[in-house]
Structure 1
Amino acid sequence: MSDRDTRHKASMQKLKARVDEKVANATEQRGLIIVNTGNGKGKTTAAWGTVTRALGYGYRVGVVQFIKGLWECGERNRLEDDPNLDIAIMATGFTWDTQNRAADTQACKEVWEDAARMLADPEVYLVVLDEITYMLKFGYLDIDTVREALKNRPREQTVIVTGRNAHRDIVAMADTVTDMQEVRHAFSDGIQARRGIDF
């Protein structure tokens, strides 16, 4: 065995020992709060990937879309017929298009009722609150309302919160936070969003 192979094997043995120790120490079983935030692309896409994973195991899943509801969504198109998936949509479109705070606030509160129902249901294994960060930022939803619903949800339920500028209280509650940072985005260079790739 060469010196490089010997060093590689020793390095992998140390890595395996560290990984095995972490696995052995992970003894708690419960649902999580996961936050996908940051100005990079892929927050909602990552959440839909987890939705697909949970549905693949036959779990019940709820998705609440607060911003992109009227926009085409390939993931939603593919999965919406699954009997274990419950989707609620704030059907006003992008807030920067509507420009109507009162109407957007009312629409947000109506779809939040669906979210609150899902968050209280012990049969729902995963809830995605897609783009809810904007609802908090614009003041359409009260942070205390959202925080209490997250805190009082069933123990086995996981919640994924997506959107830029996640509220500090939600980040503080979260078990896993991923901050997706933009390095380069085609749209900034005048390239249109592509069906089947971007939506």
Structure 2
Amino acid sequence: MQIEQPPVDRERIIPSGERRGLVLVHTGDGKGKSTAAFGLALRAHGRGKAVKIYQFMKVPSARFGEHRVFEQLGVPIEGLGDGFSWKSKDLEHSAQLARDGWARARDTILGGEHFLVVLDEIMYPLRYGWLPLDPVLATLRERPAHVHVVLTGRNAPQELMDLADTVTEMALIKHHFKAGVPAQRGIED
């Protein structure tokens, strides 16, 4: 490891723009996309802001760790899907759930009552062709000026990244699963 001197002087950049709602994309093959979005949700909720979380691949009855804590905190979190595609018994039904869920998420975004709307795992229904990209982009462009939206999932479309204010790519360096260690509750649920 290279030892560095801590910075003691830096140029202070003062933003000249106005505060406004942001579009944030968390993508990439690495772990942490949803976790980062949930961290933003906690931060906003901690400031007394209205937050709504939609999970496009989780079932409505899901009871993962994030569901338990968000319910305890009073942050609405809603599963919109029927699990990941390899678990689905009817892919057309999965696609319809994604379209129905998108209609709810779109109405929430455009309604303007929430400071932050999280669209967790939305990249899957976009990539599978279950949701057309253009209406999602249009909604993000037309949303009320104060509404922040976070979208997560692997392989975000370039058009979405171009529209976003902030794009973070989680890079996979090493993953325990490749060494044979299974998923563990509280870390990957």
What TM-score do you get using the length of structure 1 for normalisation? 0.86
Q: State the match for 1:77 in structure 2.
A: 68
Aligned to 2:53: 63
Could you tell me which residue of structure 2 aligns to residue 48 of structure 1?
Answer: 38
Answer yes or no: is 1:166 the counterpart of 2:156.
yes
Decide which structure has greater helix share: 1
Q: Tell me the equivalent position of 2:131.
A: 141
Any conservation in 2 of the 1:64–1:88 contact (CA below 8 Å)?
yes
Give 3-state SS (helix, strand or coil) of 2:116's partner: strand
Give a deviation string over 1:17-52, Cα, whole Å, max 9, x none: x1x2x2x23432101000000000000011001111
CA distance in 2, matches of 1:133, 1:36: 10
Separation of aligned partners in 1, 2:15 and 2:52: 31
Q: By how many angstroms is 1:139 displaced? A: 0.3
Equivalents in 2 of 1:125, 1:62: separation in Å? 9
Cα contact 2:118–2:149 (8 A) shared by 1: yes
* More deviation, 118-127/68-77: 68-77
Residues 90-120 of structure 1 deviation map (CA, whole Å, 9 limit, x = unaligned): 2401112115321111111111121011111
In the alignment of these two chains, the number of paired residues is 184
Q: Which runs of 5+ in 2 are unaligned?
A: none
User: What is the distance in 1 between the residues matched to 2:184 and 2:125?
Assistant: 26
C-alpha contact (below 8 Å) 1:129/1:162 kept by paired residues? yes
Partners of 1:91 and 1:27 in 2: how far apart? Answer: 38
**1:130 is aligned with what amino acid?**
D
Change in 2 beyond 3 A, CA 1:189/1:71: farther
Alignment deviations for residues 37-71 of structure 1 (CA, whole Å, 9 cap, x no partner): 00000000110011111111111111110113465
Give unpaired runs (5+ residues) of structure 1.
1-7
Equivalent position to 2:8, from 8, 12, 27: 12
For the residues of structure 2 that align with 1:171 and 1:165, how far apart are their CA atoms? 10
The one-character-per-residue Cα deviations of 1:162-189 (angstroms, maximum 9, x if unpaired) are 0000011110001100000100100121
**Worse-matched range after superposition: 151-160 or 94-103:** 94-103
Does structure 1 residue 34 correspond to structure 2 residue 30? no
The amino acid across from 2:133 in the alignment is I
Counterpart residue number, 1:106? 96
Aligned to 1:3: none
Share of identical aligned residues, percent?
A: 38
